[in-house]
Amino acid sequence: MKVVNLKKLTPFYILLSVLFVLTLIPKGNILLYLNTLHSVFWDRFFRNVTVFGDGAFIPVILLISLIFFKFKYTYQFALSASFQILIVLLLKQVLFTHINRPYFFFSEEVKATLNFVAGVKIRYTDTFPSGHTATVFVITSFLALVSKKKHRLLPYGLALIGICVAISRVYLLQHFFIDIYFGMFFGIASSVAGCYIVKKYPQKWYKKQLNIKWPPRVSAPIKKLLTTINIL
């Protein structure tokens, strides 16, 4: 019996496979190229989309899952998110604290030619890996794993959201490509690990959930969304 249905993560594996070759390009080159595509539209787009990788989304999703999901899925996401957070903190705060972000990587001459996006605070250190990218990919890959089989295109849409957030981190001069690539990898790997543990070691309380009665105006649209991804 298969413990984890990895087919649902096909678009995520495609991303990792196709983008791997780009990690071989000299550090900073991809960032410099994306910066040449600077425009008002892309500035606004990436400034807005990058927020979906904010770590604040993890407790929000945990709270929503606790209220509306079966305990099984809440536990699975809690495990996955915990793995992702621990990996990112270990790498950023312990193993690779000496690696600077793009702002300190380039010379003053190069920085003078860069286009900085208004309203975006530039960070200077702890570049590897990208926490925003790891966060959005642990969330999107988790949702892909628990989605219904009939919604075959949903994982592709989720992967698209993830890669947009990842690219935003490079476009906004916050990370190098290598940072977002491994952020993707660690986020996806964390989801797989969480799913594996939950399915490998089933518990009776997995099927239980909180029974909170909400007004129809509040519960109806949320339940419709959660039913789509096979959680209710």
- Give pLDDT tens digits for 66-119: 887 888 999 999 999 999 999 999 999 888 888 889 988 888 888 888 989 988
Query: Percent of the chain having pLDDT more than 70?
Result: 88
Q: For residue 17, with 0-12 CB atoms within 10 Å meaning exposed, 13-18 middle and 19 or more buried, which class applies?
A: exposed
With CA atoms as reference, report the closest residue to 209 among 58, 57, 65. 65
Does the predicted TM-score (pTM) go above 0.85? yes
Quote the CA–CA distance of 52 and 120 in Å, as a whole number: 15
Q: What is the mean pLDDT of residues 123-150?
A: 90
Evaluate whether residue 63 is within a structural domain.
yes
Contact 102, 173 (CB under 8 A): yes
Evaluate whether residue 51 is within a structural domain.
yes
Query: Percent of the chain having pLDDT more than 90?
Result: 57
Give the total number of structural domains in the chain.
1
Evaluate whether residue 1 is within a structural domain.
no
180: confidence class by pLDDT, cuts 50, 70, 90: very high
For residue 230, pLDDT beyond 80 = no
Quote the CA–CA distance of 87 and 104 in Å, as a whole number: 24
Quote the CA–CA distance of 66 and 85 in Å, as a whole number: 19
For residue 1, pLDDT beyond 50 = no
Evaluate whether residue 13 is within a structural domain.
yes
Evaluate whether residue 192 is within a structural domain.
yes
Evaluate whether residue 10 is within a structural domain.
yes
**Could you list the residue range(s) of the whole structural domain that residue 219 is in?**
6-228
Evaluate whether residue 145 is within a structural domain.
yes
Q: What is the mean pLDDT of residues 184-199?
A: 95
Q: Across all residues in the chain, what is the average pLDDT?
A: 88
Residue 17, classed as helix, strand or coil, is: helix
Tokens of 180: 């977002």
The size of the chain, in residues, is 232
Q: What are phi and psi of 167, to 5 degrees?
A: -65, -35
Evaluate whether residue 131 is within a structural domain.
yes
